Structure 1
């Protein structure tokens, strides 16, 4: 399978996941710790670029975007999402409880004491998946989602 990661990057990440230090990996691969450090750093950068690319793509193909306004009670967010998905005839893959957990995990910086303190965007994909995005002003002074969390 094609990947944004090289075989060496994949091997280094696998060894790190198994608990090996960069020094140990350097010894295994016959190179320096500094080289392993750079390989790992570039692998993580490639992963972040891939995530950003998917975020942009999902934003492009998303049939439905919902702005969650400041002052919204977090407990009302599932109802807002289900209402919009019903209008768009999209089956959301999550229960209300799962949406609450998702929002709490992915939008926690926008929420304080059950209330939304900074607006954000929920994107609903055609396949029923949801994503949370920042809500920022574009260069044309129009509000639009910019970044997946």
Structure 2
């Protein structure tokens, strides 16, 4: 509930008032929930990557919109058609690892995996 309330724009104090607890308790709950979400994303990415091939790494400092073309190029070399147009591909990456991006600039290396049906996994 805390994460949903935060997504809805409520402050930690507003949530604390709603749930009749302290702001510091809400802060701890939020921090723990976000860490659990991060760990779950990493576990899923690992599982998906086991049936996929690492096709490229988007290097820190690079521009995501430019790097999309290297993904398509790497997939072509494997004779696999990527199942996303450029906009959908960029959106998928941005949603998967927002913490590794600053806008469309890559802040931290991003590994791109591709399965045989053209589905991209981001880790």
TM, length-normalised to structure 2: 0.65
Q: Tell me, which stretches of 5 or more residues in structure 1 are unaligned?
A: 1-10, 111-117, 133-147
Larger radius of gyration: 1
Query: Quick one: higher RCO (CA 8 Å, sep 6+), 1 or 2?
Result: 2
Higher helix share: 2
1 or 2, which has the higher strand percentage? 1
The verdict on how the C-alpha distance between 1:102 and 1:39 changes in structure 2, with shifts beyond 3 A counting, is closer
Superposition RMSD on alpha carbons, in Å?
A: 3.4
Q: How many residues align?
A: 107
Q: Report the Cα offset of residue 101 of structure 1.
A: 3.8
Kept after mapping to 1: 8 A contact 2:68/2:90:
no
What CA deviation, in whole Å up to 9, does each residue of 1:82-134 have, x standing for no partner?
231x2xxx542123x34874699679438xxxxxxx8x7531024422134xx
- Segments of 5+ residues of structure 2 without an aligned counterpart are 60-65, 95-100
TM-score by length of 1: 0.55
